[in-house]
Amino acid sequence: MKKSSYERRKENNACSNRLKAVLHHRENIICRNNGIRKPAPPIQQQLQERFWDAIE
């Protein structure tokens, strides 16, 4: 059965929101440990880009 674009979008959003939550959570742990906000390390950036490419 073919999914509607609405259903696909809903799933993608749920997935990306989960990813965002995980990345955000990791960032917060790093923050608390170091007391400073760090930009995402390059590998994390790559993973995010690859993730968005996979979705599109």
What was the pLDDT predicted at 51?
76
- Domain extents for the chain? 5-55
| pLDDT tens per residue, range 2-56 | 878 888 888 777 767 777 777 766 666 655 666 555 565 677 677 777 777 777 6
What was the pLDDT predicted at 8?
80
List the alpha helices (DSSP H) in 1-56: 5-34, 42-55
Model's pTM, two decimal places? 0.31
Q: For the chain, first and last CA: distance in Å?
A: 20
What was the pLDDT predicted at 13?
73
